[in-house]
Amino acid sequence: MLVEDKILFNEIKNRNLKVYEALFSNYYPGLVRFAEGYLFDKQTCEDIVQNIFIYLWENAEKINFEVSVKAYFFQSVKNGCLNHLRNLQIHDRHNLLYIEALFNQEDADGKDDPEIVMQIRNAISKLPDQMAGVFKLKYLEGKKLKEIAHIKQISENTIKTQLLRAKDKLRKILMETTSVKFLL
């Protein structure tokens, strides 16, 4: 670690507000752009970066800094983004299982809300063809990324991007056109 980094961390541990503000001003915009490479959601990225700075300020005396300031910030943002994606994945998995059940359930008693099913189907139909196809293969047919990539003849990274964008578009469509706000 460079001497400058040791001095900066020491000043943060000593609650030097000027140094903290300077670090925030210098690193915040770049860290938000870096986070957007993971999440594609500026507001969430800003929240993650702000939380890292808050954590640093509140817990500086407990943190054992062994890397440069820059490495600390970028690794913290990366970890924050990955944790956010993991939490979204768990939440989305439950919601998407519900959607899948709605699509696949044969409801002899008519207990399903046909309006909700229709709204979800309409939202999926508004997606671009390839995006809708990828979404259906992943969440309605339960295919793995590798299988979808083979079927569609596109890379797994493209599949991941298509799925993220599909969820975002579906969320927006459902929030604008329905009362089904909790699903995605």
pLDDT in tens, 47-85: 999 999 999 989 888 887 788 888 999 999 999 998 888
Instruction: Give the total residue count for the chain.
Output: 184
Domain 105-177 indexed as CATH 1.20.58.1030: no
What is d(CA 173, CA 184) in angstroms, rounded to the nearest whole number?
10
Regarding pTM above 0.75, the answer is: no
Region(s) of the chain under CATH 1.10.10.10? 105-177
Region(s) of the chain under CATH 1.10.1740.10? 3-85
Q: Are 33 and 42 in contact (CB under 8 A)?
A: no
Residue type for position 23: L
Beta carbons within 8 Å of 63's beta carbon, 6+ residues apart = 9, 56
H or E element, residue 63: none
Query: To which residue do tokens 């293969």 refer?
Result: 137
The CATH topology of domain 3-85 is Rna Polymerase Sigma Factor; Chain: A (1.10.1740)
What is d(CA 9, CA 59) in angstroms, rounded to the nearest whole number?
12
Along the 184 residues of the chain, how does pLDDT read in single tens digits? 678 878 888 888 888 899 999 999 999 999 999 999 888 888 999 999 999 999 998 988 888 778 888 899 999 999 999 888 887 766 555 655 666 565 554 443 444 556 666 777 788 888 899 998 998 888 778 888 899 999 999 988 888 888 888 888 887 777 676 544 444 4
